[in-house]
Amino acid sequence: MNASELLEQLQNLYPPDRLLTRPAQLAPYESDGLTAFRARPAGIVLPETQDEVIQTVRLCYHHEIPFVARGSGTSLSGGSVPIQDGLLIGLNRMNRILRYEPNQRIAVVEPGVINLAVSQRASGDDLYYAPDPSSGPVCTLGGNVAFNSGGAHCLKYGMTANHVLGLKVVLPNGEVCQLGGDSLEMVGPDLTGMFVGSEGLFGIALEITLRLLPKPEVYYTIQAAYDSLAKAGDAVSLVVASGLLPGAMEIMDRLSLDAVEAAVGVGYPSDAKAILIVELEGIAEEVEAEKPRLHEVIERSGAYLVEVAKDEKQRLKIWTGRKSAFSAVGRLSPDFIVQDGVVPRTKLGESLAEIDRLSREYDIRVANVFHAGDGNLHPLIMYDGRQPGALERAESLAGEILRLCIRLGGSITGEHGVGLEKCGYMREMFGESDLEFMFELRRAVDPLQLANRGKMLPLAEAPALMTRGAHPLEKQGIISRE
């Protein structure tokens, strides 16, 4: 693979400040939010128009050079790590809201638009964009589409796939096509749904048509403290079994509470082993009717302290703490892996008890922060990468947690994707026929496997090439781990 001819032709398309090739320019892009994996591309382009993206992809196809599209680089599965000697296409400058129609409740955006910016734009019309990942103030919607991001409120409102109506995309061969449209009503197969969550394997989104929702009339947020993490996990099933559908249910354990308290000073209970945040939202009459039922369930679940956010300021303080958890854990450990497995809600208590046992067995601290409503675990596995073998031990523990999720009837990922990190577990999650179908679909859209090569389905002609242990690309020297 020789990218020199490609870079020469890209000089005709991009000015020098938007075609990066010097080592110092490439270094910041070598890894993403999962810093254990890194690779250096041959070059980076920073397009500002759709036409530049299209022409770039066509050139990559002509020269058979693999490419990776990247937004803010917040992926926690290695999904936006570049390909060694390939091309990285940075989309942050494509950050325009192209169309905003509050009467139709839609917004058409470019892939570099920040998640939170859509809700800010729509707030004057009492509308908002529902998916709210913790990285919402910095992550881009192109990345949200690639990984089908969720967030705290996905329990009630669903994932990114439930809010993307249409896409204009450039396929890996440079062909441009329109998927979906402006309406919830579709004709034919759900190609939009196929593209969302495909981790960049099917090309690059150029325009994204989003569904906007009316802001809830009222919020009612409670914070329940428990003397064990398992009790907090079991409380989630009780809430759902009661018939309530909260906007969000989140759990944080003692380690994560300590980290957040040191970082932002929310005022969480100092003696709690875990807290459960439950938020009701909707029209005032509906929320008012649900309040007594929620309190009855929480009291029955064994909470020893229940606090209600008395105003919007206190509510936002609670959520600021929860959404600061990942970064705050950096106060406790120089390095950590954020895992992303899913278990059935009824198995939350069991899974948390087993994670605690594994933490003791491996002698590795694990902070638990997760979207309890849909069973999406986010254990933060702490290690010091300066110590020999520490990363490998942390990855081994992470693998045991993923296998636990599979055994309990869950999934190896809820919203962070497979990326580079979980390729070795695909065979444990899926059967051979399922994997072969995925490969057939991948090859039908991108026979040369140029788009985000090595992610989710790594450089494979058959599923048997996926093995546990060292990543296939690492064996070939295409990526490295530190």
CA 114 to chain centre: 14
Sheet holding 176-180, edge to edge: 97-101, 106-109, 204-211, 164-170, 176-180
Which residues neighbour 76 within 8 Å (Cβ) at sequence distance 6 or greater?
Answer: 32, 33, 34, 338, 340, 416
Report phi then psi at 176, rounded to 5. Answer: -105, 135
Q: How far apart are CA 10 and CA 379, in angstroms?
A: 42
382 DSSP 8-state letter? E
pLDDT (tens, 9 = 90+) of the chain, 482 residues, equals 678 999 999 999 999 999 999 999 999 999 998 888 899 999 999 999 999 999 999 999 999 999 999 999 999 999 999 999 999 999 999 999 999 999 999 999 999 999 999 999 999 999 999 999 989 999 999 999 999 999 888 889 999 999 999 999 999 999 999 999 998 877 788 999 999 999 999 999 999 999 999 999 999 999 999 999 889 988 998 999 999 999 999 999 999 999 998 888 888 898 999 999 999 999 999 999 999 999 999 999 999 999 999 999 999 999 988 888 888 888 889 998 988 999 998 898 889 889 999 999 999 999 998 888 888 999 999 999 899 999 999 999 999 999 999 999 999 999 999 999 999 899 999 998 999 999 999 999 999 999 999 999 865 543 333 333 455 455 555 455 55
Q: Which residues contact 73 (CB under 8 A, 6 or more apart)?
A: 29, 31, 32, 33, 80
Torsion-angle region of residue 105: left (phi > 0), alpha (psi -120 to 50) or beta? left
Give the DSSP H/E element, type plus range, for residue 225.
strand 218-226
What sign for the dihedral angle of Cα 39, 45, 47, 53?
Answer: negative
Ramachandran angles phi, psi of 264, nearest 5°: -125, -5
